[in-house]
Amino acid sequence: MTALLRKSLCALALSVALASAGNAATLVEPTLHLKPQGSGGGRVALTLDACGGQTDTRILSALVENRIPATIFVTGIWLKRNAAGVEIMRAHPDLFELENHGGRHIPAVDTPRKIYGISSAGSADAVQAEVESGAAALGKAGGPAPKWFRGATAQYSPSAIAMIRKLGFKIAGFSVNGDGGSLLGAKATARRIAAAKDGDVIIAHINQPTHAAGEGVVQGLLALKQKGMTFVRLEDAEDVGNDGTTD
């Protein structure tokens, strides 16, 4: 083998390795919008993640008292710890749609890595187990079978998205990050949520009762209601998601 040929083969191998590494590093954070209402005060979908922890009764009570519907993405972990919160949600089926946030709150990424400090599923089998165990936990808790899935961190590998869709789930992105993972203060959270426009899908958290963000979630939602905004659950509105997550 000539030196030139060896050099060419090495260069080819390097380019293939770099391309593979680039593909492995690519993650998707899908967006989701409702089809705009185009009249009245507009409409938005409130989605709340219940990852682990406890129930933020500030938010749950405000939703019930103000008749604000929401789609709640619950993990198997949260369901086990929050029977009282689940009972309240189940008692108001006109307000609350419970959907799949995974069995153990593991990112739906089929290559080993960490996202926001959380270890990914790491393989296709592990992604499937996370999705199916979350659905099974919801089944045991009673109520309709879930139709939507949102993974931990809301980031996915493209191949995981394809797998989850084959399992029969739509994947819930969002267009407004209301509380920054429940890490924002009350004022910043309220501002973000109150700024939502017709067709937006809001993400926030209902599992951190000690965080200031929960107070801001309530303030922002009441500000939207005062503006005349209509709230809908994901199952009650036409939606458009990118990256093959809903079509």
Cα angle for residues 149, 152, 157 (degrees, 5° grid):
80
Question: Tell me: the pLDDT tens digits for 60-81?
Answer: 999 999 999 999 999 999 999 9
3-class DSSP assignment, residue 240 = strand
pLDDT at 13: 42
Question: Tell me: the pLDDT tens digits for 152-202?
Answer: 999 999 999 999 999 999 999 999 999 999 999 999 999 999 999 999 999
CATH superfamily ID and name for 28-241? Glycoside hydrolase/deacetylase (3.20.20.370)
pLDDT at 22: 42
Q: Is 232 left (phi over 0), alpha (psi -120 to 50) or beta?
A: beta
Tokens for 49, please give them: 């993640």
Query: What are the b/e assignments for 78-113, b being 16+ CB within 10 Å?
Result: bbebbeebbebbeeeeebbbbbbbbbbbbbbbbbee
CB 99 within 8 A of CB 234: yes
* pTM of the predicted protein model: 0.89
Question: Tell me: the pLDDT tens digits for 93-137?
Answer: 999 999 999 999 999 999 999 999 999 999 999 999 999 999 999
* Phi/psi at 240 (5° precision): -135, 115
What residues does each domain of the chain span? Answer: 28-241
Lowest mean pLDDT: which of 34-48, 85-99, 193-207, 218-232? Answer: 34-48
Q: Above pLDDT 90, what percent of the chain?
A: 84
Please determine, for residue 6, whether its predicted confidence score (pLDDT) is greater than 60. Answer: no
How much is the mean pLDDT over the chain? 91
pLDDT band at 4 (very low <50, low <70, confident <90, very high): very low
Please determine, for residue 10, whether its predicted confidence score (pLDDT) is greater than 90. Answer: no
* Phi/psi at 132 (5° precision): -70, -35
117/17 Cα distance (integer angstroms) = 26
Amino acid (one-letter) located at 224: L
Kindly give, in sequence order, each residue whose CB lies less than 8 Å from that of residue 33, ignoring residues fewer than 6 positions away. Answer: 175, 199, 200, 201, 239, 240, 241
Query: How far lies 52's CA from each of 55, 78, 123, 145, 220, in Å?
Result: 9, 5, 23, 20, 23
Please determine, for residue 20, whether its predicted confidence score (pLDDT) is greater than 50. Answer: no
Query: How far lies 8's CA from each of 17, 18, 22, 77, in Å?
Result: 14, 15, 21, 53
